[in-house]
Structure formats: C-alpha cells, structure tokens
Amino acid sequence: MDINLGNTSSLRLLNLYKVVSLLYQAGSMTQAQIKTESGLSGPTVIQCIQHFKEKGAFYEGKALASSGGRKPTLICFDYNYRYAVGVEIRRHHVDISIMNLKGECIASRTERLIFEQSREHLQAIGRIIDELIAQNVDPKKVLGIMVAFPGEVSLDRSEITRSTIFGMHSVNLDRFKKEFRYPIMIENGANAAGFGAVFKDKNLADTVYIVVTDNGIAGSVVINKKVYRGNSGKAGAFGHIQLDSNGRQCSCGQKGCWSVCCSVASLTGDEDTNLKDFFARVDNHDEEAVNALDQYIKYMAQGIACAHLAFDTDVMIGGKIVPYLEKYQDQLRKAVFEYSVLKDESFNINLDLTSNSPMSEGAALMIVADYMENGIFTE
C-alpha cells in the first residue's frame, strides 16, 4: 500500500490498514485486543471497526463471558465478503477455482475444452465461469478473474508475449477483456502457482516452484513472498534447461529439455494423460512403467539440483502428479543429494499437496492479495 503520511486522510488510511490487517490475520478479536495490538486509541479503533462493518467486511460475533461489567463481543473478519476467480487454461481442459479472502477454495471445476485461438473458446470459458459463480456465490462479490496461462506474460501483464505450447506470440489482453463480464487479468501459470503456495504457507517466504503439467515443466521464483520476474518477465523458465542432449524433441526446438523429460505425457505416453492408469501399472510391477518412473525421478532430480544451485532456496513441486509422487519423495530426495556439489547441502523438496489446481488457485490468490493491500481501501 502506498501511504503518504503528509496529510490526515493518509493517516486514516494507515489506521484502517493496521486494523484490517490484524483482523484479517486473526479472524476475530475483541475491540480491546485490537486496541492493544494496534496501539491505536479507543475512538480510532471504534471508527475503523465501524468503517469495515458498514462495508460488510467485519461483523459482530458472539459475546464472550465477562469477568464483570459489559460482555465483550468478538469482531470478526468476513472471509466470504469478496471472492476471486482463477482459471488455468490447458491444452485439453480448463480448471476454474473460486477462492474466498482466506484463500479457501469455495468451488472448483475442471472442464474438458480443447484449446484454440478463437473468440468462441474464450466465450466458452466465460460461460463456464458464469455458471460456476451463479451456482456458488453472489456474483456482486466477485472481484475479478485471473487467467493462469502457459506462456510468458509481459511485465505489465497486458500481453502474452510467447507461448511455445500453443504457438502464440504477442496476444493482447484486450482480446480476453471483451469476452468476460468481470475484470480480467493474466499471469504466467507457474508464477501464479508459486505465489499461491507461498501465500498459503505462513512459514514460507522464498521458494523455487516447479509445476508439472501435461505437456511440460513450468517454474517460478518467489522471493520474500513476491514473484521474481527478471528483466522481461521470463524468470523461472526452467522447463527449457537441457537435461539430455540425446533426449526427445522439445517444442522449443532443442532436445531433452526438462519439459519433455518430466511432463506428465512423458510417463503416460499420451497428451491426454491418465496418471491413475500409469501408477497402477507401476504398482503392478509393469517393467516398462517402473523403468519410466525411475528415469523420470532421475531427470526430476537433475532439474531440481540446477534450480537450487541458481537460487539457493527450497524447491516445491506442484501439479496433478504430486499426490502420486508422495510415495517416491525419498527416492527423489536421495537422487538430488547424490549430486556431488549438493552432498553437504540441506534444503527442502516440498510437494504442494494443499491444492488440486495450484495454477488456478494461485491466480485467484493474486487478486485476493492485491485486494487486501489496495482494493479494500479504495472500493
């Protein structure tokens, strides 16, 4: 939040910020607790509470037992006061998540929808979103839509600069805006997922985030709870690190990129992936599947080692494969620390198990974070 302390209204904004931040973190507090923790005067605290009550962001909870005198009541933050929508656009599907201000997923849907560069495609996505909103939340409470896209997005996020998966260049966001009835923004899918993971974990500030998608590997770097974007918005494009110069052809033109070595399709052998069947074959000791998984884990370890060497942070893996990888976490860890340069190192390789759809949820959470920093004071 930008605050100029030179005038009274800015001071009022700072007071509101203190009160709303406290209550947002705690969920509920008494007036006296807010006063003590904010260091503000009683009348200022009352004014701030009143402000957010009138807007509908705070409500009065139950009265607590009193040790004499008037019973104190709890002031509560209404996490369902606003919602944000995240959409992940994939080649064969779209994933949609509606998140509340606490970062809880209120509703989600995965729908089969083959990607094409057309108005009809965007309109179809718009219809699914409208339906999901209408069935689950008050449309008036929806702040907007953040699209998590598998491609590079300009620094000002007004343009998809390149998507190798979809063969797209320089697509302006205006093409999207016309087809949706809510404010719409766009973000690189891996940035959204990385941001979401750090947003949800109070103890995590820095991470390299690796998303395993059907067709490849996408990555992001989150430093001090903010996405690190680099000079042109491309930071974290780990998917095109070459792991095997004799490997399979990647969509970028090079052979053996991390993306082709570790996509979901590299295991299932099909772009229309079925992980359940693949891991059932592994469980039944199907030799081909077991060997494919062993090679996959070696490649994944190689990529993780590179990413860690570049940023010296923990590494988190997300995507639909993660619940299946949980069983092989020790094997993966062992393979990473077999690299001689990492032998004496210690860092965490986390699996993002909190989310079914890290990209769409993370995208929505970017709207939530911005709202709590700015929007709640200006609407």
Binding region for Zn ion (CB under 5 A): 240, 250, 252, 254, 257
**What's the min distance (Å) between Cβ of 313 and Zn ion?**
23
Q: Which two tokens mark 199? A: 């947003």
User: In terms of CB distance, is 186 or 250 closer to Zn ion?
Assistant: 250
User: In terms of CB distance, is 205 or 252 closer to Zn ion?
Assistant: 252
User: In terms of CB distance, is 200 or 240 closer to Zn ion?
Assistant: 240
Residue 362's contacts (CB-CB under 8 Å, 6 or more residues apart) are 86, 148, 191, 192, 193, 194, 195, 196, 197, 199, 355
User: In terms of CB distance, is 22 or 257 closer to Zn ion?
Assistant: 257
Q: Measured between alpha carbons, how far is residue 102 from residues 24, 153, 205, 258, 278 in Å? A: 8, 27, 18, 34, 35
User: In terms of CB distance, is 144 or 319 closer to Zn ion?
Assistant: 319
User: In terms of CB distance, is 47 or 254 closer to Zn ion?
Assistant: 254
**What's the min distance (Å) between Cβ of 99 and Zn ion?**
32
Pairing of strands 168-172, 184-188: unpaired
Burial of 33 (0-12, 13-18, 19+ CB in 10 A): middle
**What's the min distance (Å) between Cβ of 266 and Zn ion?**
13
User: In terms of CB distance, is 110 or 254 closer to Zn ion?
Assistant: 254
Burial of 37 (0-12, 13-18, 19+ CB in 10 A): middle
For residue 345, report the phi and psi dihedrals to the nearest 5 degrees.
Answer: -85, 165
User: In terms of CB distance, is 94 or 257 closer to Zn ion?
Assistant: 257
**What's the min distance (Å) between Cβ of 252 and Zn ion?**
3
Residue 195's contacts (CB-CB under 8 Å, 6 or more residues apart) are 220, 222, 227, 362, 365, 366, 369
Pairing of strands 168-172, 159-163: antiparallel
**What's the min distance (Å) between Cβ of 350 and Zn ion?**
25
User: In terms of CB distance, is 73 or 242 closer to Zn ion?
Assistant: 242
**What's the min distance (Å) between Cβ of 260 and Zn ion?**
7
**What's the min distance (Å) between Cβ of 285 and Zn ion?**
33
**What's the min distance (Å) between Cβ of 259 and Zn ion?**
5
Do 359 and 153 form a contact (C-beta atoms < 8 A)?
no
**What's the min distance (Å) between Cβ of 218 and Zn ion?**
12
User: In terms of CB distance, is 257 or 367 closer to Zn ion?
Assistant: 257
**What's the min distance (Å) between Cβ of 196 and Zn ion?**
25
